[in-house]
Structure formats: structure tokens, C-alpha cells
A and B are shown apart, each in its own frame.
Chain A
Amino acid sequence: MDLSIFALLVQDGITNGAVYALLALALVLVFAVTRVIWIPSGEFVTYGTLTLAALQPVNNAPPAQPPGTIALVVGMAVVAGAMEFIACARHGEIPRIPVRLLKWTALPLVIAAAAWWLARIELPLWAQIVVALALVTTLGPLLYRIAYQPLAEASVLVLLIVSVAVHFALTGLGLLFFGAEGSRTPPFSSESFQLGAITVSLQSLLVVLTSIGLIAALALFFGRTLFGKALRATALNRVGARLVGVSPNLAGTATFTLAALLCAFSGVLIGPITTVYYDSGFLVSLKGFVGAIIGGLVSYPLAAAGAMLVGLLEAFASFWASGFKEVIVFTLIIPVLLWRSLTAHHHEEDDE
């Protein structure tokens, strides 16, 4: 191995690690606030890429069929609206129904309608990205409302099982919407430049910089804003936060919106550098999960660092022993778990 190969592997590892880091952050965020181990995060990545790919022109004409994500948003908006309606009617909160319906059904429907209209006209790439992000991000809160909110008080294990179910449902729908074969999206830039002896592609640089930017933005959000602090409060103590006026439902919705945006953004970032399939998400989220585990599912910087480690390990393992790459990456989790269970004091968060 010479220096140029080493540099290329490092570049590859960091690019992938940056994407895993975004996922690890989303996982930590969701787990901290809602105690959900968010297995379907990977599906939001694939939906992000594949929705964007489905918006791409075919033979210089806008795609004949708008992405299936639109139908999913419409369907989920109707279900969420119905659930809100029933919940309000049951609790005798009839006057609240219009506002709730506006929020849960009308707003997503407006987004879906706008996306449906925009899918038919020729758009520059950045506008397509906005449309794809808006659609996939809308799925986040809707998913929380439908699958998780009714069970918000359940144990971590129940929430995990719900996550597994949601994961399978989304993968199946992904096959239906996007087909079995993979897609790539056009690169933001095909430029590359020399950095000493090393060629760095602008696309990978963009991925890393965006990830760092998002990580910094998250740190600011949770450290400096009132809303961020309220989310952290819910994470620390749901009951206590409720007592001082932070709605756990609002916190959950906000978290899922943010996490969905993060994941969809990862999807948009990796679209040009790799082929994404309807079922790619699971492995990506699992690697993000390894990163998040290294951070103990609580620490953002540690999770990001862990994800970087996974990316680098993967790059070098694929060079030296490609047949055992996954084995090496996932074996990493065993010493980490051992070390964490020996050092960290055990606390049963189900006892609250």
C-alpha cells in the first residue's frame, strides 16, 4: 500500500463515515427524546435518494409518473387525520378538531399536491432536492403520529418491535414505489482538485462539509435555543418536562421531523456517489447504529466519531479482506458493548 492508496481509502472512509454520522445523530436524537430505536431511519435515506431519482427527467422530459412517496404522504395524512379525529372525539375535544385536521391532514396534503405539480415541470437540481426533502421529511411526523404516539408510554422493547414492523412496511412500499433495481442521482458537481498528491472529488468534500455543518447546527440548536432545550428536557425526564409545560407529543413530532430531514438529507448526499436500492437502508442504518452505540445512544459527538470510525474501518477492511468486511465492522460492536457495560453504571429507564 502506497500513500495514494492510503489517501484514497481515507477519503472513501471519511465520506461514508460522514453519512453514517448523520444517521447516528438521527438515531441518538430519536432515542434520547422518544426512547424509540429507530430502525427505519435507513428507509428515510433510501426514500430520500429514490424520490430524488424518481424526479429526474427521462429522455429530457419530466418523468411520466410522480414518485410513489407522494401517494404515501397522502395515505398517511388521511390515516393521521382520522386518528386525530377519533382521539379528539373520544376526549370530548370537538372544538380542537379543525386545527388538528389542518395540521395533520391539510398541511401534508398541500405538500403532496405541490410536489405532484412540481414533479411535472422541469426543475433545476436544487429545486428537485427541496421537493424530495419536503416529501420525505413530511413522512417523519406522520409516522410518529400513526405508529409511535399511541404507544409513547410503552416499554423500549415494544417500541423496538414497532420499529421493526415499520421498517418492513417501508421496505415493501419502497419496492412497490421504486422497483427492485437501484438508482443514482446526478452529481452536484463532477469537479475534482489536487491536494498535494491526492485527488479529492468535490462531491465527497461537499458530503463531509454538509455533515459537519449539520452536526454544528444540531449542537447549536440543542445548546442555545429554548426549543432545543425543551427537547433535551423531555429526553431527560418525560414526566418532569410535562409538568413544566413541554408537550411530549410535540417533542416527539419535532424530533421525528428533524430526524427524517437528517436521514433524507443523507440520502440526497449519497445518491450521486453510490447506487441506492429500495432495501439499502437497513445496512446503512445498522452502521449508523454501531456509531450511535459507541456514543452510548446519548452523546452526539461520540456518536459522530464512532460513525467516522465505522466508515474508515469499512474502507480499510474492504481493501485488505473484502470477504470479511461486514464481519469486521459489526464485530467492532462487541468490545464496545463490553467496555460500556463494564464502565457505565446501569440504569433501568423503564423504572421511571
Chain B
Amino acid sequence: MHVRKLLPALSAGIALALSGAALPVWADINVGVTLSATGPAASLGIPEKNTFELLPTTIGGEKVNWIILDDASDTTKAVTNTRKLIAEDKVDVVVGSTITPNSLAMVDVVADAETPMISMAASAQIVNPANPKTRWVFKTPQNDALMADAIAIHMKANGVKTMGYIGFADAYGDGWLTEMRRSAQTAGVKIVAEEKYNRNDASVTGQVLKLVSANPDAVLIGAAGTPGATPQKELVARNYKGRIYQTHGIANPDFLRVAGKDANGTVLPIGPMLVYEQLPDSNPLKKAAAEYIGKYEAKYGKGSRTTFGGHAWDAYLLLARAVPEAQKKAKSGTKEFRAALRDALENTKELVATHGVYTMTPQDHNGLDNRARTMIKIENGNWVLAK
């Protein structure tokens, strides 16, 4: 290498770096988003991505850049994305990811970088227990425990004494089984069969035969999206007469399309937003949900609503309240701003969003209560509020 040639290039580089540093910081608010728009969780990640495309470009009078990355439902990719967002894009807050394993892996990264994070995944483990790491982490979806309790209460009220469980052979299915064991015990419902299957399984005949032969009063299917239809259809084909419960993971139009008439009578817990038209006007969620779903369906078509998109919108609503608070204390793009934003998120009180009303505390970084759930029934391809 010629030193003479190198030297001017080097000095030019230094000059450039210095001028960059000398520029006044007119930093916009940068929000880094990593979500699972491809891979196994794509059916959850895509409506979230669609929702981010609806969001306003200013919060509190300051320009917001939504930097959206796809993590392909892959844990390693989610961590890489998070590092990239923090190191290169200097984001003030990270939103994501769509699924629990990814979100859990991101916790360490955001805690090290002292950047707040809002997860759109369901598991309570993401924010619990409160410790110096989860101090930086919040999440919008309801805890599985909240939903499992709703199912157990509904079962008890309808005279169910024994239940069978069939769920995904992954973190989602196992998580639900754990929660359901606890809720069922509290409600005095006995779990008589526990079966597992894979999302892509061509057939669940074996598992369903075993469930049916245990003859439970009700069966809970712990699945997300259209794969939830596979055991549902098989149970109907095997003439299972008991009640079928699903989890809120299946609540999208595609499930109704694939399950068809076999889904009739199925009961599931859900964020009230999905059936906002049927809520009484006194319910504060009705207005928030109407605003979001109105915007979403105007762009993506009637009936395209999903609860997953709602989790993304709620993350925005949290930010829309917290960012102006943080702006009072520090300039965006600084460490102080990130800390102030975290404090503001933790101080969120009675924020009416689409899924529920958020009241955060240092111990509870989810902040939802019973207002964030309702039981619905599937009737002829429609979601109907269950009485």
C-alpha cells in the first residue's frame, strides 16, 4: 500500500467523521421493530407488519422513523436484528418480536444496551420476574395465564369435569399446557389426556383417537393459526360430542376459512377488540378498537382484522403516551431519553388500548387485567360474543 495515497484518504475520512460528530443532533425518534413476517410465525408477523405501515410518522411533534426488520421466526436472527438496530440505527426503543423464544433471547441484548423493549409475544416469562434485565422489557399481549383462567372459569360454569388437551409440540403448546394445568386445578377440572402434534403434521388421527378414548367432557386445542384446524376437524370426524375450546392464537380469518363448519360451537378466550362491534357502548375498548380496525380494514380489506395486529397497535399506543413524557426530560437519541422512556412506560396508568386497559407497575410490565379478555364462540364462520 502506498502511504502517500493512504494518507489523504485517511485524513478525509477523519474530517468526515469529525464533521459528522460536530453536526447538531437533530435526531428523530428511531423505533426499531423486529418481527416474524416469514417463517413458521408468519401468520402472526404479517398483520403486525401491516399495522406498522398504518402508524403515524410523528409522535409528540417529533418525526418517528419505524425501522422494520424481519427475523424469519428465528431466534438468532431476532438477536442479530436487535443488535443491529441498537448499534447501527441507534434506536430509542425496540418493538418485538412476534414470538416468545425470540423475545426471550432479545431481553439480554436490550438490557445491556439500556434500551426499552416492547414485546408482542404472549408468554409471561418475557417480563417476569421483575429483575434488572426485565426492568427494560414490556409486553402488550395478554399473559397465557389470564386466558387460561378464562377458559377454566367457562368450563366450570358449563359443568365440565374432565378435559383433554392437544397442543403444539413447542413452546406455545407447552406453555399453554402448564398454564392450563394450574387453572384447571383451581377450577376443579381434571386433565385426563395430554397429546402433542406439530404444526405441519399431515394427520393427527392417532392423537385424537387417544383423546376421544379418554372421553373427556371438553377438549382444549393449544395451537395458533390454521394448524389449530387440524385437530378440530379430526375431532369432528371422529364424532367427538364434547365441547371444543381453542386458544386466542387461532383468531384469524384463515382459521375460519380452513376449519369451515367444523368450527361451529367452538369457544375461545380473546382480546375484546376482535368483536368490538358487539361490545356494549359503555366498554371503553370499543372506541379504541373501532379506530384501529377501521384503519386496518380500510387498507387491507373487510374482515382482515386479527388480534395480532392489535398487539402492534397497542405497542404504538404505549409509545404515543410515553414518548411525550420522555421528551420533557431528554433529547431523543440519547441514553437519558431511553431511560426516561422506560420510566414513562412503567408509569403508564389506565391507558385504554385495543386489547385492554394498561396499568404498568415495576412488578407488572404487562399491565392488563380481566378487561383484556372475553369469551367468544364461533358460529357459522363468525366470531360471536359468548354469554
The interface residues of chain B lying within 8 Å CB-to-CB of A15 are: 203
A319 x B43 contact (CB < 8 A): no
Residue of A nearest to B198 (CB): A326
Q: Please count how many residues in chain B sit with their CB below 8 Å of the partner chain's CB atoms.
A: 34
> B279 in the interface, Cβ–Cβ < 8 Å?
no
Whether A8 contacts B229 in the complex (CB less than 8 A), given A175-B42, A318-B197, comes out as: no
B230 x A323 contact (CB < 8 A): no
Whether A180 contacts B42 in the complex (CB less than 8 A), given A8-B209, A284-B202, A319-B210, comes out as: yes
Looking at the assembled complex, report how far the CB atom of A267 sits from the nearest CB atom of chain B, in whole angstroms. 11
> A297 in the interface, Cβ–Cβ < 8 Å?
no
A275 x B209 contact (CB < 8 A): no
Please measure, in the bound complex, the distance between the C-alpha atom of A54 and the C-alpha atom of B230, giving whole angstroms. Answer: 20
The interface residues of chain A lying within 8 Å CB-to-CB of B201 are: 274, 318, 325
Please measure, in the bound complex, the distance between the C-alpha atom of A319 and the C-alpha atom of B196, giving whole angstroms. Answer: 10
Looking at the assembled complex, report how far the CB atom of A148 sits from the nearest CB atom of chain B, in whole angstroms. 26
> B258 in the interface, Cβ–Cβ < 8 Å?
yes
Please measure, in the bound complex, the distance between the C-alpha atom of A175 and the C-alpha atom of B257, giving whole angstroms. Answer: 18
Interface string of A166-197 (1 = CB under 8 A from B): 00000010010001111110000000000000
Looking at the assembled complex, report how far the CB atom of A87 sits from the nearest CB atom of chain B, in whole angstroms. 35
Interface string of B185-214 (1 = CB under 8 A from A): 000000000011111111111110110010
B330-387 residues with Cβ-Cβ distance < 8 A to A are: none
Whether A283 contacts B200 in the complex (CB less than 8 A), given A181-B252, A182-B254, A274-B230, comes out as: yes
The interface residues of chain A lying within 8 Å CB-to-CB of B195 are: 322
A181 x B205 contact (CB < 8 A): no
The interface residues of chain B lying within 8 Å CB-to-CB of A5 are: 209, 213
B207-238 residues with Cβ-Cβ distance < 8 A to A are: 207, 209-210, 213, 225-227, 229-230
B43 x A181 contact (CB < 8 A): yes
Interface string of A1-33 (1 = CB under 8 A from B): 000010011001001100100000000000000
Looking at the assembled complex, report how far the CB atom of A213 sits from the nearest CB atom of chain B, in whole angstroms. 21
Residue of B nearest to A284 (CB): B202
The interface residues of chain A lying within 8 Å CB-to-CB of B210 are: 319, 322
B43 x A315 contact (CB < 8 A): no
The interface residues of chain A lying within 8 Å CB-to-CB of B205 are: 8-9, 12, 315, 318
Neighbour of A12 across the interface among B203, B213, B230, B252, CB < 8 A: B203
> B38 in the interface, Cβ–Cβ < 8 Å?
yes
Question: Chain A binding site: helix, strand, loop or mixed by DSSP?
Answer: helix
Please measure, in the bound complex, the distance between the C-alpha atom of A12 and the C-alpha atom of B206, giving whole angstroms. Answer: 8
Please measure, in the bound complex, the distance between the C-alpha atom of A341 and the C-alpha atom of B132, giving whole angstroms. Answer: 55
> A273 in the interface, Cβ–Cβ < 8 Å?
yes
The interface residues of chain B lying within 8 Å CB-to-CB of A284 are: 202
B230 x A275 contact (CB < 8 A): yes
Looking at the assembled complex, report how far the CB atom of A23 sits from the nearest CB atom of chain B, in whole angstroms. 12
A9 x B200 contact (CB < 8 A): no
B200 x A277 contact (CB < 8 A): yes
Q: Residue among A5, A277, A322 with the most chain B CB within 10 A? A: A322
Looking at the assembled complex, report how far the CB atom of B177 sits from the nearest CB atom of chain A, in whole angstroms. 11
The interface residues of chain B lying within 8 Å CB-to-CB of A19 are: 202
> A279 in the interface, Cβ–Cβ < 8 Å?
yes
Whether A9 contacts B209 in the complex (CB less than 8 A), given A19-B202, A274-B230, A275-B227, comes out as: yes
Whether A318 contacts B203 in the complex (CB less than 8 A), given A5-B209, A175-B42, A183-B258, comes out as: yes
> B60 in the interface, Cβ–Cβ < 8 Å?
no
The interface residues of chain A lying within 8 Å CB-to-CB of B42 are: 175, 180
Whether A274 contacts B226 in the complex (CB less than 8 A), given A175-B42, A181-B252, A183-B258, comes out as: no
The interface residues of chain B lying within 8 Å CB-to-CB of A12 are: 203, 205-206
Looking at the assembled complex, report how far the CB atom of A320 sits from the nearest CB atom of chain B, in whole angstroms. 8
Whether A175 contacts B38 in the complex (CB less than 8 A), given A12-B206, A181-B258, A284-B202, comes out as: yes
A323 x B196 contact (CB < 8 A): yes
Looking at the assembled complex, report how far the CB atom of B10 sits from the nearest CB atom of chain A, in whole angstroms. 41
> A241 in the interface, Cβ–Cβ < 8 Å?
no
> B129 in the interface, Cβ–Cβ < 8 Å?
no
Residue of A nearest to B213 (CB): A5
> A316 in the interface, Cβ–Cβ < 8 Å?
yes
Interface string of A280-292 (1 = CB under 8 A from B): 1001100000000
Interface string of B38-51 (1 = CB under 8 A from A): 11101101100000
Looking at the assembled complex, report how far the CB atom of B98 sits from the nearest CB atom of chain A, in whole angstroms. 11
7 A-B pairs with least C-beta separation = A318-B206, A180-B42, A319-B206, A181-B254, A12-B205, A180-B43, A182-B226
- Which residues of B are at the interface with A, using a C-beta cutoff of 8 A? 38-40, 42-43, 45-46, 169, 195-207, 209-210, 213, 225-227, 229-230, 252, 254-255, 257-258
- Which residues of A are at the interface with B, using a C-beta cutoff of 8 A? 5, 8-9, 12, 15-16, 19, 172, 175, 179-184, 270, 273-275, 277, 279-280, 283-284, 314-320, 322-323, 325-326
List 11 A-B residue pairs with CB atoms under 8 Å apart, sorted by A's residue number: A8-B209, A12-B203, A180-B42, A183-B226, A280-B202, A284-B202, A315-B205, A315-B206, A318-B205, A322-B206, A323-B169
